[in-house]
Each structure stands twice: as structure tokens, then as C-alpha cells.
Amino acid sequence: MIKLSAITPKDLGGGINLIDLGASGEVPNYWKPLAHLTNLIGFDPNEEECSKLENKDSGFLSQKFLPYAMAGENRDFTLYKTNSIYCWSLLQPNLPWLRRFDYSDLFEVKGTEVISAVKLEDVEELKNFNGIDAIKLDTQGLELPILKASEKIIRECIIIETETGFTENYIGETTFDQIANYMRSMGFGLFDINPNHRVSRKNSLSGTTSNEEMLWCEAVWLRDYCRTELYELTEITREKALKALCIYANHGCYSFGVEAARRFTELGVLSTEEYTELTSSELPWILHRNNDTGTAIKSGMLTSMINLIPRRYFSTIFAHLKDLQDTQHPLSFLARKMG
């Protein structure tokens, strides 16, 4: 009987295959509990950035970074090189809008270059992998065209992570409402969202505790295998089912995972004993390899509580915590951790 905390890459048919589109920076920390089971394939049009990432030890089962630009069609595009490499895009920054905010300098264009972009489905190197299970997109406004042009891959995915604006920070950018409609139509549900990306306007009250507009968000979308009307469930293998359960567990989606486990049991890819174990409590869903389940649960609870606090109050809270750093106050441990 398989336990999720003891899953090996062999149990998953070689591991979870994760595509990171726009790989500048790092994959989110919440992937770390699954890193030893995950093959990372990163894309970024900047060859120097790809080379740096390729040589960085990330803890993944395997990693490969490819200097390709992704788009919804195979053709040449103008790459807008902004002051910040993290804002480079095949779309032109919407500067009249962005210049109203403190961070607009990051988007100022310092040069352009004509580059070739390709559809995800046409990348030869991906054919060496046994299906794609997860995609993380940070493509500066091109999320929807990329997804729509690669629906064969999208239909295989268990999880898709998007970073999109609520308004057009780039001219012609995909916005969150467009992504939400598309993801639901493809059988995904919204399980996590971080909309707390707020930037001050350029005026005399910049940097105060003023409540600011939410400009973009990261969202996590999980495939709902119980929506049988959307795809053929008979094609689900045991390896795919175990990948899905590991991913659901990693995101704390235990009751959703139990629902999926029941479906997988009905399809014969999960045993009755395994299903019974997964329904017994939350413990079978804890993936942390150090067996410190108490710390893991407490950490998750603390993160959830912090996320309930409006961001405009953070500076005031952090200032008070700093005052407690060298005291015996019950919250002094948190102050020291953050300081």
C-alpha cells in the first residue's frame, strides 16, 4: 500500500513534470516538499538567466532550462527589454497607466530586440517527457494565448499556476477575469489566490498606510477529476492518480483529494485500502519528509492567519513586532524570526 509521504519517482512513472514559463527568479517555496519528485523544465528568453539557473542547485529531481520565448503562435515578436529583467515582455508596457505608480521605472523600456517565439506544443525537448503534469506561467500578459495554443498539454495537467494582472499593465495583456473563465472551461477550479500586490501612486501620500489598488495576482488552479463531462477518465493511470494526490496534498487540499481518491478507486487505479487510509485523517496527507507534522501544521495555520490581514496594516504590525523583539512577550519569537 502506497503512502503519500513515501512516494518515489518510480511510483510516479519518473516523477512529476513541471514547466516553468518565465523562469527568472525561483519556483515558489511551496514546491519544495515535492522537489525530490519533480522534473523541472524552465523557459526564459534570456540565455544568461537560463545558464545561471541551470547551474544552481535547486533540489529538484532533475532540471533543464531552455532559452525559448513562449507565445500563442510561432513567429517573430518584438521583445521589450525593461529596466527590470523580471518585466521583460513580448507585449509593450502600458506606460501611461504604469507611470501613475511608484514602481513604473521598472517598466521603462531601455531597448528592443526581434526574437522568435514558439508554441509550447512545438518544443522538441518536451517530447522526451512522459506527459506534463504542472505549468507555472509568469509570461507578462501572454498567459491566455499560450494556454489556448497548447490545449493538448493543458488537458494533461493537474495544476496550473498563473500570474496575471487585474488590468492591462501591458498593452493587450491577458487579465485575470479572462484566465478565470478559460480555466473553468478546461476543468480547473481556483484553490488559492494572492491578490495582495498593491503599489502606491506617485503623490505626496506614497508609502503611507493608504489602501492601494490590487494590480495583479498569483492563482493556483487544480484539475477536478470529478467533472466527468469534460474529459475521458478511463485514460487516468495509477501514476497520474498518485501525482494528483501528491499535488493536492502539497497544497493542503485534503477533502478535495479524498473526493478525487474516491474517483480513482472507482476507476481501479487506487486500492480500497489506500482510499480508506486517505479518509482516516489529515495525517496521511502530510508530505513533509522530516516527519515534523506538528511544525508543518502550525506553520500552515500561521500563514493562513497572516493572509487574512489586509496588507495596508502590515507596516504597523511589523513596527510593533520589532518593538517586541528583545522582550519576553509571547510574540517575541515571531518578531525575532521576521527581524
Spans of all domains in the chain? 4-294
Its pTM surpasses 0.95: no
Low-confidence ranges of the chain (pLDDT < 50): 291-294
Check if the beta carbon of residue 260 is closer than 8 Å to that of residue 29: no
CA 268, CA 247: separation in Å to the nearest integer? 20
Q: Which of 206, 275, 211 is nearest to 2 (CA)?
A: 275
Mention every residue, 6+ apart, whose C-beta is less than 8 A from residue 101.
199, 200, 201, 202, 215
What pLDDT sits at residue 223?
96
Check if the beta carbon of residue 215 is closer than 8 Å to that of residue 198: yes
SS3 letters for the chain? CCCHHHCCCHHHCCCEEEEEECCCCCCCHHHHHHHHHEEEEEECCCHHHHHHHHCCCCCCCEEEEECCEECCCCEEEEEEEECCHHHCECCCECHHHHCCECCHHHHCEEEEEEEEEECHHHCHHHHHCCCCCEEEECCCCCHHHHHHCCHHHHCCCCEEEEEEECCCCECCCCEHHHHHHHHHHCCEEEEEEEEEEECCECCCCCCCCCCCCEEEEEEEEEECCCCCCCCCHHHCCHHHHHHHHHHHHHCCCHHHHHHHHHHHHHCCCCCHHHHHHHHHCCHHHCCCCCCCHHHHHHHHHHHHHHHCCCHHHHHHHHHHHHHCCCCCCCCHHHHHHHC
What pLDDT sits at residue 332?
58
What pLDDT sits at residue 306?
66
What pLDDT sits at residue 46?
76
Cell (9 digits) for 143: 498567459
CA 295, CA 300: separation in Å to the nearest integer? 9
Check if the beta carbon of residue 71 is closer than 8 Å to that of residue 142: yes
Check if the beta carbon of residue 13 is closer than 8 Å to that of residue 253: no
